[in-house]
């Protein structure tokens, strides 16, 4: 059971790392002039927009939406926080067996 929980913790960690790369890729691609409907831009947008949109709405409500879009940075911080919380909890659970 301990090995299974550790494997799940590593999977959570790897998934969070991969999604972080997708968010960073979206931020970088937003600075590069690509054709409308470019496959890479569409793929990155489909993977990140459902999460970034509520963050942008919250920033707009708080009056923090400016010329620079900070939503990817906030999403990265949230991903790292959730990843750390889940991985630590899973590892503590694994060590209790």
Domain ranges of the chain: 2-95
Query: Would you state the structure tokens that stand for residue 16, as one six-digit string?
Result: 């969070």
pTM of the model: 0.89
pLDDT at 8: 97
**For residues 79 and 19, is the Cβ–Cβ distance under 8 A?**
yes
pLDDT at 66: 81
Query: Would you state the structure tokens that stand for residue 91, as one six-digit string?
Result: 């590892």
Give per-10-residue mean pLDDT for the chain (97 aa): 95 98 95 88 95 95 87 96 97 92
* H or E stretch at 62: none
pLDDT at 25: 96
**For residues 56 and 69, is the Cβ–Cβ distance under 8 A?**
yes
């Amino acid at each position: 059971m301990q090995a299974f929980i550790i494997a799940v913790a590593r999977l959570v960690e790897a998934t969070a790392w991969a999604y972080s790369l997708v968010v960073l890729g979206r931020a970088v691609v937003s600075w590069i002039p690509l054709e409308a409907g470019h496959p890479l831009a569409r793929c990155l947008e489909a993977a990140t927009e459902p999460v970034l949109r509520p963050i942008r709405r919250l920033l707009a409500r708080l009056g923090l939406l400016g010329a620079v879009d900070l939503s990817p940075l906030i999403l990265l911080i949230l991903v790292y926080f959730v990843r750390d919380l889940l991985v630590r909890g899973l590892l503590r659970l694994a060590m209790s067996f």
